[in-house]
Structure 1
C-alpha cells in the first residue's frame, strides 16, 4: 500500500476506511505479511473495524472494500474470531473429510465472510445505513448462514477450508474468478499452510470438475493450485489420473462411429468446431479444450467467426482462378473416394491428371486442411498408425441452418468458394451442454460397447474426487518467515510436540516425511512410533536462550494454539543429545533451522482432557467403517450401519440410491452369509 494512502487510512475514522478489493491481501496492502499465520492475521485485524457490540467472547472485524469507483460498488468483508468455547461443533468435519483428522483441535477459528446482498440488507440498522457493526447474535448467524458470496475458515494453526463461493449465476456482483483471486491473495498473504475445498462447482448444470478435468487435466480450481486431496468411495490419485487420461484421449472418430447413428447432434458438433479450429481435433479432450478457449475469447452477445477463405488470400504466385480450379479438382477427387479417408499422395496423384503444376497442388492441399469448400468440410489428420497425412470429405450442408440475424454460416456464391462461419455464445453453450450430456453423462446402451465401456466408470471416478487441497506454504513454517526488525539477533527453530502415552514413548513416523532432506538429513530416533506429530511451529528465541527457555517458549506457543494442550508441559527433547542440560545455550547444542521434537504430557487432572481422542479433529465416535470400496474413514458420503456387526458402509456401495431412504433394518453381506450357513435351530 502506498505510504500516502496508508497514512490517510490511519487518519480516518475506523468506520470510514475503504480498501481496494482488487489488491486487498497483497503483501503491503494493508499490512506487511512478514510473520507466521498467527502473527499475520493479528496484524491484518488491526486495520479492521472492531465490533464493540459483540459479546460472549466472539469478536468480529469488518473491512469495507471498493470493487468499482464508476459505477460505485462496495462490499463488506467480515472476519469472525470463533473461540473453541463458543463453537457449536467441537470437531471440524471438513478436516475429517480431507484427511486431517489427526490434527489437534485449535483454540480459535477465523471466519472470512463476504456476505450476499440479502445478508447485508438484514444487518441494516434502523436508519437504513450499515456501518460494519454487528451484534453477538448477528455474528453467530453470519457464520451459520448459507449463500454467502464467499465463506472461508482458518484454524489458528494455519490450515483452512474454503466453504463456498457464489458468483454471478448465484446473484453476486462478483464473478467466481474474482472471488477466487481474492481468496487466494488472503491465503498467500496470511501464510496459510494448506487449504482444502469441496468442489461442487457447476455451470449450467455441468460439473466443472468433470468438464475442466477432461479439457485441461485438472479441475477449475486448478488454476489457483488446488490439486487432488482425497477421493470418495476409495478413489486414489492414480485412479483419478487414469480416469482423466482415459476420457481425454477418447478418439472422436470412435464416438462418431458408436454414437453418431443414434444421435446426429454429435457428428454435427464435431464438424462445427473442426471448421473453427486451425488444426485437427482428434480427441475428446482436444475438443472440450478448444470449446472452452473459444468461450474465454467470446464476450456475451458477440460471435466468433472463421473465414475459411483467408487460407486462399495469401499472397502467392498463382492467380485466384488457378487456385479455384485446383481446389475444384481436389474436392472432386475426394468425392470419388466416397467419403473415406485417403492418403495425401493418393489425392495428389488423382489431381495431377488435371493439374500439372505440383507446386500449386501442394499449396492447395496444405491450405484446404480442415476448411469448408462449398457444402463440404475437407478434413485432414495424421494417421496414428502409418504416420501419413490423410484427407476426407464431410457433408456439412445441413449442419448450420441459415440464421440471417447472426447466423452460423454465410454461403458463398460459388460452390467451390470457401465460406465463412460465425459462432455465437448461445450456440457454443448449447453445443457444450449437449456434448456433456450425450457423451459424459447419459448412460446410453451404445456407451457400454467396445472402447466406450470405460467412459461411465471414468466419469464416476472423476466426479468422486471432490476434495481438493492447495499447499500454500507447506508444513515447514519458517520458509520466508522473518524474525522482525529488532536489532538484537534471534534464533529460529522449528518445533513440534508429541505426547507421552501411558505404556510407551511415542514418536510419530510422520517425521520421516517432513522434508528433512532439505536440512541435511533425517532425524534419528530409536523409539516406538505410534502417534502423528503436530504441524511444525516456528519458535523465535534470543541469541543467548537456554534449553529451559526453549521449553518454556514452546509450551507457551502450543498452549495458545491447541485446545488439548492448555496444560501441556515439555518434559524432554526427543532428538537432543543426552548429555545436554537445561542451562546449556540453544545455539551451543542445536543448529538453526533444525527440526525439534518436544516430548511432554497433559495434566490428567483436567477432566475435559482425560481422553486424548477427544482433543483431535477426528470424530471421537468409535464407529467402524469398512466399506467394500476400501474406505476406512468418513469421507462425507452417506453411510449406514449393519444392525448386527454395526460396521458402516456407503449406501451407494450396497446399491441403495441416494433418492431412496435408508431401510429400517440392514444386514451387510458378511452377516447375511453367516446367517445363511448357520444350522437350523430345533
Structure 2
C-alpha cells in the first residue's frame, strides 16, 4: 500500500521514469499494481491500494487496459470534440478509476466505463493524450475525499507517467452556479485552472480571444457602477447591502466584482452559522464531467420557462459591422415585417413564411439581394417596431419559417442558451449569515441578469460556452545518458493531396541510449509507431530528415541535438484501415453561422442537400424540438428554388456581431 497524499510524488513509489507514456504505464502497472483475478469485457484490471494517512482508510485505484481491437468504441468522442479528430487511433486506452466509496469492496462491473458516480475517471491513450472524464468530491457523492485531494492525486499521476496533454470538460456546479463562470470571474480561470488547465475549445464558435476578453469584461465590473446600474431595480437594496458588508469586513479595498467574489470565497468557511432565509435554487450540486457527443442534449432549457428577452433591431444593428447604414437596415427590416404582417392577415394562411418567400416579397421594394440576406440572417428573436420577428421550424412542413408576434402580449422570445437560476429574492436580508448564499445572489443577479447591458450578457455567455480546458506537460529532456526525440511521420505518407489541409497528428516520443546509432534510432522509431497506432503495425522507416547524410552505423551523439523534432519517412502504413483517425472513418464537414468549423460536442444537424453539419440552435431549432427528418440549410434553400435573383447567402460567423469598444470597460469582446 502507498500513501494517498504522497503517491506519485517524485521518487514515490519509484524513481521518475524517463521514457514515453506508453512505456511508463507498463512499468507503473508492473511495479505498483496487482492484477485482479477478473476482467471487464476481456480487458485486464490492475489495482493499487492507497491509504489515507490521516483517516486510515484504504482507497482502491484501478487501472483498466482497453484494447481498441476488441473495444465497443474504438474511436474517441472526447478527442473528436476537443479538436484531436486528426490523431491516429491508439491501440490501447488506459482507464484510471476510483469508484464511489460504497463500491470500494465490490468488483468492477461491465458498465464501469459509463458510470457517472466514480470519484475519479481518467482516460489516457497510449500516445500520452487523454481526458479527465469524471471527478466527484464531497458534494458529488464522496463520503471521505474532497475534490481537491482527488485532483492533486490525478495531477501527480499524470506528471509521473509523463502524459502529454489532458483535457477536461468543465460542467462542475456548486449550489446551481457554474464554477467555470464563478471562478473565471473571481480568479481569472476555471476551478481546474489551479492545476494548470487552460482554455482549449469553446462551443458555438467561441475562441480563446473571446474567452479572455469575456473574463476581462466581467472581472473589471466596478462595484460602484454595479450599484448605480441596479438603482431602481428590485434587488438594488440587497446588492448594496452585500457590497457594503464585505467591504467593511475586508482590510483591502474591494473595487471590482472580481475583488468582491474572491474575498467572499476566501471567507466562506469562517462565516457565522446563522440561518438566512433565501429562496435559492435547489438543484443538486455535482462535479461530474459528462462526456459529450453529437446526439446528446447538453442544454437544459425547458419549454415551460423561457427567457423573455428580445433585442431591439436598432440595438442589434448598432453592434453589427455593416457596410450599409443603419437607416437602410431598419428600412429593410420594416419591409420584411410588412410582408410578414400581410401573410399573417391572410385567413387561408398559417402566418409563417419561408426564407425564400420573405425574400421574394421584399424584393418588390428592395433590389439589393445582399442587403436582404444580411438583414434576414439577423432577424431571429428581435423586435422591429411593435412586432417580434422569430425564426423556427414549422412542425408540419419541418421547414424553417419566419413569423411575427405582437410585442407585449406575453409572447416569450428566445429560449436561454444556458439553464439560468431564478432571480433570488431574499425574504430576510442578512449579508454574511451564509456567504455562499450571498455569492449565489451576486452570481444570479449580476453575472446572469445584469440590467440593460448586452456587453455583460455576451461576456457571460462566452464564458459559459467555454467548457473544454487542457493541460500540457511540456516535453522534458532531463537525462544525460539518453537521447530523446519527437518523431513525426511525413505528411505525404499519411494523407492524400486533397486532405493536406488536415492538421498533422502529433509526433511520438522516442528515447534511445546516448551512443545509439542511426539504425538503432530507426528501429526504435519503428517499434514506437508499431506499438502505438493501429495503422502502423507494418511500418518500416526508410529515412529521417536531418540524418540523410549519415550512415546507419554513425553515432547520433553530437550530430543531432536531443529533443529535436525529426520528420520520418517510411512505408507500410495501412491507409485503408477503418481505425485510422480518432474522428472516425467519416470525413464530414462542419460549417455553422456561429463560426464553428468542427464538432464541439453541441447538438448538430446535417443538411440533406450539402451534407454540412450545423448547430441546431443556430438553425432556429430549439433543444426541446425534435430534429426535422428532412433538413435543408438556408444556403441550399436558395439554390433549390428557381432563380429569380442572384443569391448572396454565405455562412458568416460572429464576425458580423463585433461591437465597438465600450468606454466604461475599455475592452472589446468579439463574440
The normalised TM-score by structure 2 is 0.68
Distance 1:662 1:183, change over 3 A: same
Q: Could you tell me which residue of structure 1 aligns to residue 36 of structure 2?
A: 51
**Is residue 33–residue 40 contact of structure 1 (8 Å, CA) maintained in 2?**
no
Residue 137 of structure 2 is aligned to residue 167 of structure 1: yes
Residue 647 of structure 2 is aligned to residue 673 of structure 1: no
**1:169 to partner: Cα distance:** 1.1
Distance 1:580 1:620, change over 3 A: same
**Is residue 499–residue 601 contact of structure 1 (8 Å, CA) maintained in 2?**
no
**1:492 to partner: Cα distance:** 4.2
Counterpart of 1:441 (choices 448, 459, 463) is: 448
**Counterparts of 1:207 and 1:201 in 2: how far apart (Å)?**
6
Q: Could you tell me which residue of structure 1 aligns to residue 265 of structure 2?
A: 292
Counterpart of 1:496 (choices 475, 485, 488) is: 488
Counterpart of 1:112 (choices 93, 96, 111) is: 96
Q: Could you tell me which residue of structure 2 aligns to residue 80 of structure 1?
A: 64
**1:564 to partner: Cα distance:** 1.5
CA deviations 1:16-40 (Å, max 9, x no partner) are xx22111111122211122222333
Unaligned runs of 5+ in 2: 276-425, 646-671
**Counterparts of 1:502 and 1:55 in 2: how far apart (Å)?**
34
**Counterparts of 2:241 and 2:540 in 1: how far apart (Å)?**
71
**1:626 to partner: Cα distance:** 0.6
Q: Could you tell me which residue of structure 2 aligns to residue 262 of structure 1?
A: 233
**Is residue 228–residue 467 contact of structure 1 (8 Å, CA) maintained in 2?**
yes
**1:49 to partner: Cα distance:** 1.6
Residue 587 of structure 2 is aligned to residue 622 of structure 1: yes
| Secondary structure class of the residue paired with 2:432 | strand
More RCO (CA 8 Å, sep 6+): 2
Distance 1:254 1:644, change over 3 A: same
**Is residue 89–residue 580 contact of structure 2 (8 Å, CA) maintained in 1?**
yes
CA deviations 1:576-619 (Å, max 9, x no partner) are 23x4333434347544443322111225xxxxx34267412123
Q: Could you tell me which residue of structure 2 aligns to residue 466 of structure 1?
A: 467
**1:299 to partner: Cα distance:** 7.1
CA deviations 1:613-632 (Å, max 9, x no partner) are 74121232122211001111
| Secondary structure class of the residue paired with 2:186 | helix
- Matches for 1:222-371 after TM superposition, within 5 Å: 222-264=193-235, 265-295=238-268, 297-298=269-270, 301=273
**1:281 to partner: Cα distance:** 2.3
The normalised TM-score by structure 1 is 0.67
**Counterparts of 1:299 and 1:471 in 2: how far apart (Å)?**
37
Residue 608 of structure 2 is aligned to residue 643 of structure 1: yes
**Is residue 271–residue 432 contact of structure 2 (8 Å, CA) maintained in 1?**
no
**Counterparts of 2:561 and 2:248 in 1: how far apart (Å)?**
65
Residue 515 of structure 2 is aligned to residue 534 of structure 1: no
**Is residue 546–residue 582 contact of structure 1 (8 Å, CA) maintained in 2?**
yes
**Is residue 203–residue 466 contact of structure 2 (8 Å, CA) maintained in 1?**
yes
**1:67 to partner: Cα distance:** 1.8
**Is residue 50–residue 60 contact of structure 1 (8 Å, CA) maintained in 2?**
yes
Q: Could you tell me which residue of structure 2 aligns to residue 574 of structure 1?
A: 545
**Counterparts of 2:70 and 2:616 in 1: how far apart (Å)?**
34
CA deviations 1:334-361 (Å, max 9, x no partner) are xxxxxxxxxxxxxxxxxxxxxxxxxxxx
Distance 1:216 1:109, change over 3 A: same
Distance 1:678 1:59, change over 3 A: same
| Secondary structure class of the residue paired with 2:37 | coil
| Secondary structure class of the residue paired with 2:43 | coil
Distance 1:23 1:461, change over 3 A: same
Counterpart of 1:30 (choices 7, 10, 13) is: 13
Q: Could you tell me which residue of structure 2 aligns to residue 180 of structure 1?
A: 151
CA deviations 1:218-241 (Å, max 9, x no partner) are 111111111111111111111111
Q: Could you tell me which residue of structure 2 aligns to residue 90 of structure 1?
A: 74
| Secondary structure class of the residue paired with 1:615 | coil
**Counterparts of 1:62 and 1:502 in 2: how far apart (Å)?**
38
Q: Could you tell me which residue of structure 1 aligns to residue 477 of structure 2?
A: 479
Distance 1:20 1:239, change over 3 A: same
**Counterparts of 1:502 and 1:151 in 2: how far apart (Å)?**
33
**Counterparts of 2:223 and 2:558 in 1: how far apart (Å)?**
68
| Secondary structure class of the residue paired with 1:91 | coil
**Number of residue equivalences:** 490
**Is residue 93–residue 124 contact of structure 2 (8 Å, CA) maintained in 1?**
yes
**1:675 to partner: Cα distance:** 4.1
- Matches for 1:538-577 after TM superposition, within 5 Å: 538-541=510-513, 543=515, 545-577=516-548
**1:501 to partner: Cα distance:** 3.8
Query: Comparing 581-590 with 95-104, which one deviates more in the overlay?
Result: 581-590
**Is residue 153–residue 162 contact of structure 1 (8 Å, CA) maintained in 2?**
yes
Counterpart of 1:66 (choices 45, 51, 64) is: 51
| Secondary structure class of the residue paired with 2:17 | coil
**Counterparts of 1:589 and 1:262 in 2: how far apart (Å)?**
72
| Secondary structure class of the residue paired with 2:132 | strand
**Counterparts of 2:11 and 2:24 in 1: how far apart (Å)?**
11
**Is residue 500–residue 601 contact of structure 1 (8 Å, CA) maintained in 2?**
no
Residue 601 of structure 2 is aligned to residue 633 of structure 1: no
**1:121 to partner: Cα distance:** 5.5
Distance 1:631 1:529, change over 3 A: closer
Query: Comparing 81-90 with 50-59, which one deviates more in the overlay?
Result: 50-59
| Secondary structure class of the residue paired with 1:54 | strand
Distance 1:677 1:253, change over 3 A: farther
**1:540 to partner: Cα distance:** 0.6
**Is residue 96–residue 122 contact of structure 2 (8 Å, CA) maintained in 1?**
yes
CA deviations 1:471-513 (Å, max 9, x no partner) are 12x2x3x523x37xxxxx654444332364499899x9xxxxx
**1:255 to partner: Cα distance:** 2.2
**Is residue 534–residue 579 contact of structure 2 (8 Å, CA) maintained in 1?**
no
CA deviations 1:217-274 (Å, max 9, x no partner) are 1111111111111111111111111111111111222322232322232222222222
| Secondary structure class of the residue paired with 2:229 | helix
Q: Which structure is higher in helix share?
A: 1
**1:531 to partner: Cα distance:** 6.1
**Counterparts of 1:502 and 1:34 in 2: how far apart (Å)?**
31
Q: Could you tell me which residue of structure 1 aligns to residue 436 of structure 2?
A: 429
Residue 540 of structure 2 is aligned to residue 595 of structure 1: no
